Amino acid sequence: MFKNYLLLSLKVLKRKPFYTFISLFGISFTLMILMLLTSLFDATLGDNQPLTHRDRLVIVPMLERTRTETDTIMKIDTLATSYDTTYTYEDDIVSTSNGPMSYKFVTENLTKLEEAEHYAFWNDGYHQDGYLDGRKFSFGAYYVNAGYWDVFDFKFLHGSRLNEQDDEGANKVVVITDKAAKTYFGEATASVIGQEMQLGAETFRVRGIVARPLSDSPMFAGDVFFPITRVDQREIDSDDVSGGFGAAFLTSTSGRREALKNELTFLGDNYDMSGVEFYDKMRLFNATFYEGYARGILQEEDGSKALRLLFIPVVLLILLFVALPLLNLVNLNISRVYERKAEIGVRKAFGANGSDILYQFIFENLVLTFIGGVIGVLLAIALISYVNTNDLLGITRLSYSYEVFFYFLVVIVLFGFLSGILPAYRMSRTNVADSLR
């Protein structure tokens, strides 16, 4: 039966080449775009290193300082028999400043949070020029603490991470990405470990090589990672609460994130600002990974609100994008199926029942969708390779993960079934006499 259905489906596709071409084009193009979107979402928001534990992550990218003054407003009662005045007092924020935190602030205040299992600090405000054999390279420089590698689980290809001793001694060692290794040394193999890199006016020894992350993020978008104490000494010595450092924390479970966020909020609200000359109030921005992602795109302070504002429209747009070609394909299928009313009438006259007709047309549509899906996969793979090879999305690279292909397979099956079920059902109910007229 299966073989008969398959042979019949292939013959039907050859019968109307134009309809087949239009259907295949619509299916392959739509599924190619869906695969690209799925791949992009997987690279950006999926469970990939170095963000495998993103469900336990709380990000503190910056703090906000405000100065509040009390305005005295005099009101004159002109209806009174005597000259009477009253005063009201209202608090008004007259100045606001927000930005990353200082080294002193993060090390003195964010290392002993009860709900934080691991903490990461980094400074990404620098670029380092590398020199080799008269050639010059420019690398994004990150200065990170030893806990950075606990929060962000980079995939180490060779060598090892920076450690507490490197922080304490400001050691001249670095961890580099595989891309930086290939750029500077021409290879990203184990032989690079222990070799020296001239970065700026100093020479550093390569401690480890990590795989370049799939996604672009200000938390780990560097090429070369130094011990945090190798940062500009002025950053280390600054007594200000603001500076160039971000922070991220891992909780023991995802359910503890809200408790850590509340702890951070309490810390900011109750921070002693008596030593600060101008500002008198502090707020620590904190968010989960997805809240931080939405907040960064929409510039909305409320993380939960930003999440709703970003993802609800995205989901609706994706559904609309899928629905429009699906409806067009249904219309094409209906036209194609109605041309075969006489064939259906003959089959029913020779004993075929409604379920046989229904299964046949659903199977035919699944075959058509599968062929279109294969074409879509090949087009998507070619486009993904082109995008990644030419870095068209910056550091973000589209992935070929098993999850992407699984989602794609599910989409193909659903697409074929949904676009074929309605016309197939209607034709399975066709009256024999009406079909043979």
* Domain total of the chain: 2
pLDDT at 74 (0 to 100) = 53
Domain closes at, from 250, 276, 295:
250
User: Could you give the percent of the chain with pLDDT greater than 70?
Assistant: 71
pLDDT at 318 (0 to 100) = 72
Cα–chain-centroid distance for residue 26? 28
Q: Both 221 and 312 in a single domain? A: no
In a domain, 295, yes or no: no
Is pLDDT above 90 for 117?
yes
In a domain, 129, yes or no: yes
pLDDT at 433 (0 to 100) = 52
Q: Quote the domain boundaries for residue 152.
A: 103-250
In a domain, 303, yes or no: no
Q: Both 243 and 109 in a single domain? A: yes
3-state secondary structure labels for all residues of 143-199: EECCCHHHHCCCCEEEECCCCHHHHHHCCCEEEEEHHHHHHHHCCCCHHHCCCEEEE
Q: Both 320 and 425 in a single domain? A: yes
Secondary structure (DSSP) of 70-104: EEEEEEEETTSSS-EEEEEEEEEEEEEEEEPBPHH
Q: Both 346 and 241 in a single domain? A: no
In a domain, 64, yes or no: no
Domain closes at, from 225, 250, 275:
250
In a domain, 246, yes or no: yes
Cα atoms in the Cβ-side hemisphere of radius 13 Å centred on 317: 9
In a domain, 78, yes or no: no
Name, in order, each residue with C-beta under 8 angstroms of 54's C-beta and a sequence gap of 6 or more.
Answer: 47, 289, 290
Domain closes at, from 250, 279, 297:
250
Q: Both 213 and 326 in a single domain? A: no
In a domain, 271, yes or no: no
Q: Both 244 and 332 in a single domain? A: no
Q: Which residue has the higher pLDDT, 429 or 81?
A: 429
Is pLDDT above 60 for 84?
no
pLDDT at 262 (0 to 100) = 94
Q: Both 234 and 133 in a single domain? A: yes
Cα atoms in the Cβ-side hemisphere of radius 13 Å centred on 278: 9
Cα 360 from Cα 427, distance rounded (Å): 11
pLDDT band with cut points at 50, 70 and 90 for residue 8: low
In a domain, 81, yes or no: no
